[in-house]
Structure formats: structure tokens, C-alpha cells
Amino acid sequence: MTRFAAPIAEQIWTMKYRYITDDGGDASVEDTWRRIARSLAEVEAEPDIWEDRFYDALEDFKFLPAGRITAGAGTGRKVTLFNCFVMGTIPDDMGGIFDNLREAALTMQQGGGIGYDFSTIRPKGAVVKGVSADASGPLSFMDVWDAMCRTIMSAGSRRGAMMATMRCDHPDIEEFIAAKSDAARLRMFNLSVLVTDAFMEAVKADGPWELQFDGRVYHTVQARDLWNRIMQATYDYAEPGVIFIDRINQANNLAYCETIAATNPCGEQPLPPYGACLLGSINLARLVRDPFGDGASVDEDELARLVGLAVRMMDNVVDASNFPLEAQAREAQAKRRIGLGVTGLADALLMCGLRYGAEDAVAQTESWLRAIARAAYLASTELAKEKGAFPLFDRDAFLASGTMQAMDEDVRAAVAEHGIRNALLTSIAPTGTISLYAGNVSSGIEPVFAYSYTRKVLQKDGSRSEEEVVDYAVQMWRDRMGDAPLPDHFVNAQTLAPEDHVAMQAAAQKWVDSSISKTINVPEDIGFEAFKDVYMQAYETGCKGCTTYRPNDVTGSVLSVSESADKVPGEGAMPTEGGEVIYMSDPLDRPTELEGATYKLKWPDSNHAIYVTVNDIVLNGHRRPFEVFINSKNMEHYAWTVALTRMISAVFRRGGDVSFVVEELKAVFDPRGGAWMNGKYIPSILAAIGGVLERHMVQIGFLAGEGLGLKSDPTAQVTNLAPPKGPACPACGSYDLRMIEGCRTCASCGHSKCA
């Protein structure tokens, strides 16, 4: 008897969270819960007692620690259990900038998403004293960060994620706002503008706004014009987001000892320099009693009990986790931040007969979040009584903070008497994957996106099967009501008015001491003035930030209609990116003999050829690549050819659609320059190997043709160019070198080396 409510939940567990070792690991999801409970109970004085209590909280997906904890706790892997980091303040000097780049790489290597404020770097064109040069500006260094992120595969097989912020009064803010208009730039970043209260008042008054750095005013613009630029960029490209930074700092429990200027990649965690936070969610959908009945409601006694256990577990993570940097460990220990939130809220509202965004649903949301905040703060004061308050606790300053001003008197009294274990306790994360793992409950405080859709599952032989994925609340309705039509209060993200989204976010924000990851979906045809009103409403109703998504030709569509899905109100499908295919996780078995072919690759200006052997396996009558061997007599190539051999073979043996390997290799660009081969410009020797693999896949029928079956063909735009004359620039690879004042200088990037 499986605990999983849907096949997709078990697939997510296997791919993302299951711990597998040569001698076993997690044989069932119960083993996963036990592994997490045992690991987080180890720091307790009575670990056996707390292990069982923690297991009870995890059982049946009632409390969902974030993915880093679920996948990493108790495994012995050198990974961080923290989800969110904001890195140190970037100094305005070259050495400090690249020290920070190194710290970012180390953090992302262990699986942390990071945030940075680039407002501290002097603007483009500013004088750099001592070197007789002008500054290149923060955007140029963001490009360096972006390139670094592309090379880091963070723990759990996730690509690195980054957030970049910039103050609304920085002289380069207009370039920052427009950055995502270039489809190839800063793809690894989310961007948000730090908007101050003074700026918002200037926008309302249509007043002037000074762009300044280090006390010098560089430009003066009209505040409303700058606001319109922000709005137009996010209207067209879904970025940048807006962070109301003064509100964040004013409400911060720790305003007396820290200043915040950045958030984690999804925005729910505003953090100080080297700040770190872990996440977890109470699954409200599992706590509804008598769903769809006259007495449907969340069991608030069970909710309070569960919150208390969750707070204790998350507090223990602070002591159990690794940290990429010592500065992050010190910051986490000094403040013991946690981010307890919710998921399944929209499903819980549906089961209670409430329409997401309606007045009664807004009131119920505020009530649930208030109950969670109360229970969390009281649990943390009990922990402080037992284990001590967080080291930087200052009773008078803490009680005077914005969050504590709104707390009930009994909570304030408990804090005054015992202190509090955790400086901040609540946050609402996006929870996309863990919500699928919990049976496809609605994510975070978002509305349901699709009540039913068809998911294509990629099998080992390359074929695809289809399975229906049903929202948790809809499945419960079917189980209880059979074929009865869904009630009118079943609405989804695409049918809701934007103001309904904002009202729900504002209601939750009142009782969340950090922030909320929330996307406000707006229709493609929304007028620009109405679009701007969404952001103004978010500011006026107390939100700490605002992120919207408007589908268009540039951003694409969040949801696509599933032709085979049941027709239900608000029918749609999952986001097209990553939502369609599940890759099978068990590797293919290797037969005793395989058929294959060997290809000779002669790279220009190289003394030795590279030989690429590709062996194939036949499954269900179809031939597909199974392993690759790359060899060269050039010992300079030895390490990377062995590494590439192992990595590509490991991917091929997992089965599924492995054509992305070709795409990734063909996109590799060598800054020393590529080569022309058979009338095509090949940007690197790795790209040439990708071309060999692609030709082999075409020959065996795995791909229909060159550039087909891929998301894009990186060489498509240069195949008809004439071969260039002269050497390539060693810095950027372009063939634009010329002699200027006795030096060979690149007209494209400015690289210069005296001849």
C-alpha cells in the first residue's frame, strides 16, 4: 500500500528526494521520513522521543521540509540544508568583487540559491582612481556572475539560481531595468528593483528623482518616467520585480542589528549580508476536516501542534546543516532564522467551500496565517526557555519591532519573559516540487493552476506514455462526489482578476515576518495602466514586493491547454518548461556486446586527432546511444576527455531523450577562438564533439536531422558565413582584431596586446 496519492508524487520522490546507495538507502517514503526525523533529532537531549514526534509530523506529508532538507538530511552528503542565501556586501574594488564571485561559486556548489545587491558597485563611466580608467559598471560584473552560474550544477541536480537587486536611485538603474530585453543576457538571474518609500511618493507626485552614488548626483529624472520604465520592462519581459525595501527594513524584527538590501532568488527571504534561511511548509490541504461538507474547516488544534513540531525541527536544522562559508554559519547561528510557511492553501479553501480571492477567502487566509504565526512565536519562546534565545536577542529592541507590535499580548509577554529562539520564523516559499511530491496540492499560497492535465512520461526506450495528473482537491471531490460537476467556487490562476491575487498576498503578508513568493498572473490583453495599478495596489495594501506574469510572444505562456484533459472549470496544463517530461531514474542495463562506430576528429592547429566512439543499444526495435569513449594521444586532453567520457555515458545510460547533450556541447564557446570545419564555424573543440554525436544520432535514426529534436541549434545563425581572415581574439573569440597604435586590439571587446 503506497502513501503516494498519485504516480507523479512517487516519481518526484524517486528523482528528487529518495536517498539511494549501493547497499540500499530509502526503500520507501517512510524510510525518507525516518531518515529526516532521526537526523534532526540527533541534536536533542532525548533523540529517540523527538525522532518519533518528528516522524509523526512528516507522516502523510503534513509537514514538508524544503527540498534541501528532504534530500540531504541524514545522508552524510556535504550539502547545505539551507535554501536561501544572500552573499556579503560587494566592495567597490576589483579584488573584493572577485572574492565575492568565489564565495558565490562555493555556495552554489553546495546547492544554495543566492542573492546579491549590485548597488554597491560604482556606475558605468565613473572614474577609477589610480588606473586612469572609467568603471565598466555593475551590469558588466553581473555578466561575470551569470557566466559563473552557468558552469555550476548545484546539489540535487539543480542549476544555480541567483537574484540581483539594484536600488532605484543608482545611476545605472535604467540599464538594469532594460537588461532582460536582451534575450541572451543574464539568463541565470532574477532581477528586482529596490524601491524606496521616497521614490513611491515621488512617483505619486510626479516629482524629480536623483540618481546618485557615493554622494554624487549623476542624473536627475522624473520619478514617474522611471517607474513607467520599470513597469514597461516587466509588462514586456516579466522582469524586473519590485521589492519595497523600506517596508522590509521597517518591519524586520532585527532592524536594530541589520540592514537588508537583497533577497533570495524567489524573493520570500529578505536577508542581510551572509544571511541564510531554511524553509518548510505546513500542508493545509491535509488538515481540513470534513472536506466539502457543511462543517469543513482546518483543525486548528492540530495545526498548532504541527507548527510547534515544525519550528523545533527547523531550529535543529541550524545545528545539523553544513554551510558553504564560515560567515554564513556565524550569521545563521547568531540569529537562527527559519522560514515556516504553508502550501495547499488554495486546495484547503476549495475544500472549505471558499473561492480564492473572495472576501471570505481573504479573511480565512488571514486567520489561518495568524494562527500559524501565533503558534510559531509561542513555540519559539518555549524553545528559548529550554535552550536559550538567539545570541543577538535584545528584548526591548525586539519587542519594539514592526512584527511584534502586531502580536497578541500573551505572545509579547512570553517573549519578554523567556526571549525567543528564532529571530524570524515565517515565510512562504513557492513549494512547486514538494507540492507535487505531496500529491499535487496547490503550491504555497498560489491559486490552483490546472485542475487536470496530461503529463507525458519519458520511458527508457525513448517512447512516452501519458498519465492524468489531477489537483489534490479535485481528486478528493471525485472520490467523494463521483462525476458531480465541480462547484462554481473552483477557480484557477488564469480566471482570477489580478486584484484577487493581490488581496490574498496582502492578507498573508500581515502575519509573515519575512516575505512571500507569489506570482500575480495577469491576462495578455491587460492594458498598461491597469497593469501598473496592480503594483500600486500591492504597495498600498502592505505587500513587501510584487511579481507579475503576463503571457506574450516574449515570455511565452505559463499554461497550455491539455487536449486530453477532462473539461473542468479553468482547465489548463502545467508550465511548459520542465512540466512535460519526467526522466526515468534507473540506469539502463549494459548488454555483453554493443554495436557502435568510431569517428576521427581533427581539430585545426592540433597535433593529434581525437577519436570519438559511440556504442548503441537496441530497445523495442529502436537504436539509441548508450555510451561514448573519447580518446587522444595529446596528454593535455587526458583529464577532460576522461571526464567527458564518464559524464556523457552516465547520461546516455539513464535513457530518455538525451539529445540535450548535443545542444549543451554545441553551445560551448572557447574564448581563444573556434575553427572553421567543412564550411561551418565551430565555436570550440567541445562543440565539435557535440557535432560528431549529433551526426551519429542522425545516422542511427535517433534524431530526424541536424538541429532537429533540440531546443535550439547554437550554430544555426553562422553556418553560411564566409571563413574569417586572421586570428580570433583570445578574449572574446571574434575575428575583429586590428592594429591600433602598435597593438593588436579587438574592436569587439577592447582586448589589447602589444605586438
pLDDT tens digits for range 638-675: 788 888 888 888 888 877 778 888 888 887 877 677 78
Active-site residue flag, 352: no
Residues 115 and 232 in one domain: yes
Residues 210 and 246 in one domain: yes
Residue 114 C-alpha cell reads as 543566492
Boundary-marking domain end, from 196, 231, 251: 251
Residues 127 and 31 in one domain: no
Percentage of the residues of the chain whose pLDDT score is greater than 90: 57
Residues 233 and 199 in one domain: yes
Residues 278 and 231 in one domain: no
What pLDDT is recorded for position 747? 42
Query: What is the mean predicted confidence (pLDDT) over 184-194?
Result: 90
| Residue 472, domain member (yes or no) | no
Residues 71 and 107 in one domain: no
Query: What is the mean predicted confidence (pLDDT) over 198-225?
Result: 97
Active-site residue flag, 264: yes
| Residue 452, domain member (yes or no) | no
Residue 99 scores a pLDDT above 90: yes
Pick the closest to residue 362 from 513, 238, 519, 496 (CA basis): 496
| Residue 436, domain member (yes or no) | no
Banded model confidence at residue 464, pLDDT cuts 50, 70, 90:
low
What pLDDT is recorded for position 703? 84
Contacts of 517 (CB under 8 A, 6+ apart): 266, 267, 268, 428, 429, 430, 444
Q: What is the pLDDT of residues 737-746, one digit of tens each?
A: 544 333 444 5
Q: What is the pLDDT of residues 465-521, one digit of tens each?
A: 677 889 999 999 999 999 899 999 999 887 899 999 999 999 999 999 999 999 998
What pLDDT is recorded for position 665? 87
| Residue 557, domain member (yes or no) | no
Residue 628 scores a pLDDT above 50: yes
Pick the closest to residue 462 from 697, 619, 589 (CA basis): 619
Residues 291 and 210 in one domain: no
Comparing 305-309, 394-398, 549-553, 584-588, the range with the smallest average pLDDT is 584-588
Query: What is the mean predicted confidence (pLDDT) over 61-90?
Result: 91
What pLDDT is recorded for position 671? 67
What pLDDT is recorded for position 750? 45
Question: What are the φ/ψ torsions at residue 743 (nearest 5 degrees)?
Answer: -120, 140
Query: What is the mean predicted confidence (pLDDT) over 406-411?
Result: 95
What pLDDT is recorded for position 370? 97
Banded model confidence at residue 458, pLDDT cuts 50, 70, 90:
low
Pick the closest to residue 645 from 615, 622, 683 (CA basis): 615
Residues 235 and 107 in one domain: yes
Calculate the average pLDDT of the chain: 85
379-388, 522-531, 678-687: which is most confident = 379-388
- Choose, from 83, 190, 249, 264, the residue flagged as catalytic: 264
Query: Which alpha helices (DSSP H) does 183-299 contain, by range?
Result: 197-205, 223-237, 245-251
Query: What is the mean predicted confidence (pLDDT) over 701-723?
Result: 50
Residue scoring higher pLDDT (729 or 326): 326
Active-site residue flag, 277: no
Residue 752 scores a pLDDT above 90: no
Pick the closest to residue 30 from 67, 72, 58, 62 (CA basis): 58
Query: What is the mean predicted confidence (pLDDT) over 321-337?
Result: 94
Banded model confidence at residue 682, pLDDT cuts 50, 70, 90:
confident
CA-based max dimension of the chain: 86
| Residue 632, domain member (yes or no) | yes
Q: What is the pLDDT of residues 563-591, one digit of tens each?
A: 333 333 333 333 333 333 334 445 677 77
381 is in which domain, residue-wise?
7-80+260-418
Tell me the chain's radius of gyration from C-alpha atoms.
27
| Residue 733, domain member (yes or no) | no
- Choose, from 149, 266, 352, 729, the residue flagged as catalytic: 266
Boundary-marking domain end, from 206, 231, 251: 251
Banded model confidence at residue 557, pLDDT cuts 50, 70, 90:
low
- Choose, from 239, 258, 268, 446, the residue flagged as catalytic: 268
Residue type, 77: R
As for how many domains the chain has, the answer is: 3
